[in-house]
Amino acid sequence: MVLTTNYDNLLELYGQKMSKPMESINLNDNVKVLQWVQSRIKYGVCICTDCTRIPVP
């Protein structure tokens, strides 16, 4: 899933309002992804900055 920056920012603001801080996690950052998978980062949103979109025929 690819999230736009605006959607990502809205999720972070929502998390702050609910007292559950969310963090954007870049899929290229192996350390952060591993922490997220191991549930060290409870509220996170994965984003991929280098994704290429393939048109559907």
Residue 55 pLDDT: 42
- Total domain count for the chain? 1
Whether 27 is in a domain gets the answer yes
Whether 26 is in a domain gets the answer yes
Mean pLDDT of 22-29: 72
Domain residues for the domain of 13 are 5-47
What pLDDT digit, counting tens, does each position of 46-55 carry? 555 554 444 4
Across the chain, how many H-helices and E-strands are there?
2, 2
Whether 56 is in a domain gets the answer no
8 A C-beta contact, residue 35 and residue 55: no
Residue 1 pLDDT: 44
Mean pLDDT of 34-46: 66
Mean pLDDT of 1-7: 55
Of 37 and 18, the one with more pLDDT: 18
